[in-house]
């Protein structure tokens, strides 16, 4: 029997709802600081989320929504994104974004049961570490054996590179791991690395196509806050714990 050895988590939208009230706000604050009359509404941001990576998203926005402007230079995009990252750091340091339901409980149980924990995300390492320190506290960052983030790989999600990188660093084959994602781009990335994947949707991703996921839930659930199953088989379970992960792993 193939053991379940590690859990690999996406960050934005999976560990915490960071997109609408943190990343999006940080982009808008940056535009205002640069005196650009750009504004990303909640709805526009939902469309822009199809492009993963902040720098890539900025570039796409200028090229596709402001096509009357000359294409932005890489140095301008880099400068804007650096400022956005500063703003984001400030926001998540002071606003304390909660973890999504069940995330803390599952991480603690997995650690206690000697499963390795890892991160595979599009955002930067610094952003992940700040979020883990602020929102996961008192879970220490070092519980995550591997943090695969941002520009550590050439191609961002939906390419499989970041999951391939996480697996390489873990020293494990995909079949011994499970991935946790919230978006179709994330699922495509994980599946491209041959990982079986559990999806917890959010407002931005609930209508996406998650064909190929092991199970699609509204969140991981808590004993007193059951999840809703959107697709897949979970037996009698009403929240995700390590025992359910073992049974999903052997499906």
Binding site for Mg ion (CB under 5 A): 10, 12-13, 182-183, 186
The neighbour count for residue 30, using CB atoms within 10 Å, is 23
Binding mask 54-73 for ligand XBP (x = CB under 6 A): x-------------------
* Residue 117 · residue 110 · CB < 8 Å: yes
17 in contact with ligand XBP (CB under 6 A):
no
The closest residue (CB) to ligand XBP is: 54
| 221 interacts with, out of Mg ion, ligand XBP, none, CB within 5 to 8 A per kind | none
| 17 interacts with, out of Mg ion, ligand XBP, none, CB within 5 to 8 A per kind | none
62-67 own/partner pairs: CB under 8 Å, 24+ apart = 66/38
Q: Give 19's contacts (C-beta < 8 A, 6+ positions apart).
A: 12, 13, 45, 49, 202, 204
Binding mask 75-94 for ligand XBP (x = CB under 6 A): ----------x---------
The neighbour count for residue 69, using CB atoms within 10 Å, is 9
| 157 interacts with, out of ligand XBP, Mg ion, none, CB within 5 to 8 A per kind | ligand XBP
**130-149 residues near ligand XBP, rule: CB under 6 A:** none
Could you confirm whether 224 is annotated as catalytic? no
| 4 interacts with, out of ligand XBP, Mg ion, none, CB within 5 to 8 A per kind | none
Strand partners, 180: 9, 198
Kindly tell me which of 157 and 249 has the beta carbon lying closer to ligand XBP: 157
Kindly tell me which of 30 and 116 has the beta carbon lying closer to ligand XBP: 30
Angle at 100 between CA 56 and CA 46, to 5 degrees: 35
Query: Which of 8, 15, 3 lies closest to 145 in space, CA to CA?
Result: 8
Least Å distance between CB 89 and ligand XBP? 10
Could you confirm whether 10 is annotated as catalytic? yes
Structure tokens of 88? 């984001």
**Burial letters 153-187, b for 16+ CB under 10 A, else e:** beebbbbbbbbbbbbeebebebebbbbbbbbbbbb
Which residue of 30, 89, 122, 184 would you call a contact of ligand XBP, by CB under 6 A?
122
Kindly tell me which of 62 and 220 has the beta carbon lying closer to Mg ion: 220
CA distance 102 to 112: 15
161 in contact with ligand XBP (CB under 6 A):
no
The binding site for ligand XBP (CB under 6 A) comprises 10-13, 19, 23, 52-54, 85, 121-124, 127, 157, 186
Which residues does the annotation mark as catalytic?
10, 12
């Amino acid at each position: 029997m193939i053991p379940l050895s590690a859990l690999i988590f996406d960050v934005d939208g999976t560990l915490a709802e960071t997109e609408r009230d943190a990343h999006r706000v940080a982009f808008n604050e940056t535009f205002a600081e640069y005196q650009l009359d750009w504004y990303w509404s909640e709805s526009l941001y939902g469309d822009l989320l199809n492009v993963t990576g902040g720098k890539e998203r900025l570039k796409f926005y200028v090229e596709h929504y402001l096509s009357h402007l000359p294409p932005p230079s890489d140095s301008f995009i880099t400068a804007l994104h650096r400022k956005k990252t500063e703003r984001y750091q400030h926001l998540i340091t002071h606003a304390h974004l909660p973890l999504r339901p069940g995330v803390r409980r599952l991480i603690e149980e997995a650690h206690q049961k000697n499963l390795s924990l890892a991160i595979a995300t599009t955002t930067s390492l610094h952003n992940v570490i700040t979020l883990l320190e602020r929102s996961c506290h008192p879970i220490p960052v070092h519980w995550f054996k591997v943090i695969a983030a941002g520009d550590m790989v050439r191609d961002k999600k939906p390419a499989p590179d970041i999951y391939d990188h996480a697996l390489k660093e873990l020293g494990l084959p995909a079949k011994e791991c499970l991935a946790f994602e919230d978006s179709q781009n994330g699922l495509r990335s994980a599946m491209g690395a041959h990982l079986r994947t559990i999806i917890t949707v959010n407002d931005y991703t609930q209508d996406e196509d998650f064909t190929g996921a092991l199970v699609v839930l509204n969140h991981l659930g808590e004993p007193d806050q059951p999840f809703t199953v959107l697709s897949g088989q979970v037996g009698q379970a009403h929240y995700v714990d390590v025992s359910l992960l073992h049974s999903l792993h052997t499906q």
